[in-house]
Amino acid sequence: MTTGSAERRGEAVPLRLKKSERRRQILLELKLQPHVRNGDLAERFGVSSETIRRDFDALSGEGLIQRATGGAYAPAHGHHPSLDERSAAHVAERDRIGRRAAALVADGETLMVDSGSTTIAFARALAILGTRCTVLTNSIPVAMTLATGEGIAIRLCPGDYLPAESALVGTDTLDFIDRFNVDRCFIGASAISAEGPSEAVQGFAAVKRRMLKRAACGHLLIGSAKFGRKGLARVAGFADLDSIVVDRAPEGELAAALAVSGTDILVAQ
């Protein structure tokens, strides 16, 4: 009668899971809780904490989790930072741009804010300033960031949930945006050329366009690293933008195009 390994243990011990299944559960757990502890998981799966540590190593190698002493956590609110957005230089850029843009907002104004890493930086700056305002957004990280500030009313768009960006897109989103009129809107873009800003994700381009249409004043937040590049879908012409907020003044063709359309250029810091 050999083993019968489950019976031999005979306990309420959770029966031994395969490695892959255990790792899948770790990832799922991280969707529930932002942080898991090494020891807790070891106990729950009935394995040694060394094994969990090895799981962490493997998963973090694939970029699915991030490690911290004593545990692991999910990578940034489900919002995938593509490689180039990781460098410290770009973080500083975005912070400066975000602060400059937030300074444009006056108490009592209504805003629309788009999805993207630059607009998250903007949201953060706005929350720090403590400007009282109403914000409509299709980005979950933006909503969560703004929620730390006092006196900011947040309205989230409906739509199809896009996990990679934690944002909402689709016709529901567009229809919803159409129902509002706001003082300003703040959008990002994945590229900007003399023809105007463009966006890699097509669903986003439509949202940005719609926001610009419903706002009295449109602001584009974009880092100089994206100057002169072109994305898949054109978002708008410069005529639709009242100002662009950048970390460095544009030059050449781009500067000329902006001059023609009369778009203000706000250089952060």
Under the rule (CB under 7 A), what is the footprint of DNA? 3, 5, 16, 18-19, 22, 37-39, 46-51, 53-54, 67-71
Cβ density class 82-115: b for 16+ within 10 Å, e for less: eeebeeeebeebbbbbbbbbbebbeeebbbbbbb
CA distance 68 to 73: 7
Decide: is 145 part of the binding site for a copy of itself (CB under 8 A).
yes
* The residue to which tokens 């890699």 are assigned: 200
Pairing of strands 71-73, 152-156: unpaired
Write out the binding residues for a copy of itself, residues 192-231 only, by CB under 8 A.
none
Site string for a copy of itself, 91-110 (x = CB under 8 A): --------------------
> Does 15 interact with a copy of itself (rule: CB under 8 A)?
no
Q: Which is nearer to a copy of itself, 36 or 257 (CB)?
A: 36
CA pseudo-torsion sign 15, 16, 20, 25: positive
Please tell me whether residue 73 binds a copy of itself under the rule CB under 8 A: yes
Using the rule CB under 8 A, give the single segment among 3-11, 33-41, 99-107, 197-205 that binds a copy of itself.
33-41
Which lies closer to DNA via its Cβ, residue 19 or residue 86?
A: 19
Angle between helices 202-214 and 171-178 (to 10 degrees): 10
Supply the minimum distance, in Å, between the C-beta of residue 115 and a copy of itself: 13
Nearer to a copy of itself, 157 or 235 (CB): 157
Quick one: what does residue 9 bind among DNA, a copy of itself, none, with the CB cut-off 5 to 8 Å set by partner type?
none
**Position 166 contacts a copy of itself (CB under 8 A):** yes
**One-letter amino acid of 88:** A
Tokens of 74: 């999910």
Q: Which string of b and e fits 16-28 if b means at least 16 CB within 10 Å?
A: eeeeeebbeebee
Helix H or strand E segment including 44:
helix 38-45
Residues 6+ apart with CB under 8 A from 223: 90, 93, 94, 97, 118, 246, 247
Give the binding range for a copy of itself (CB under 8 A) out of 51-59, 164-172, 209-217, 261-269: 164-172
Residue ranges in contact with a copy of itself by CB under 8 A = 24-25, 27-28, 31-35, 37, 66, 68-71, 73-74, 76-78, 120, 124, 127-128, 140-141, 143-145, 147-148, 153-161, 163, 166, 168, 172, 176
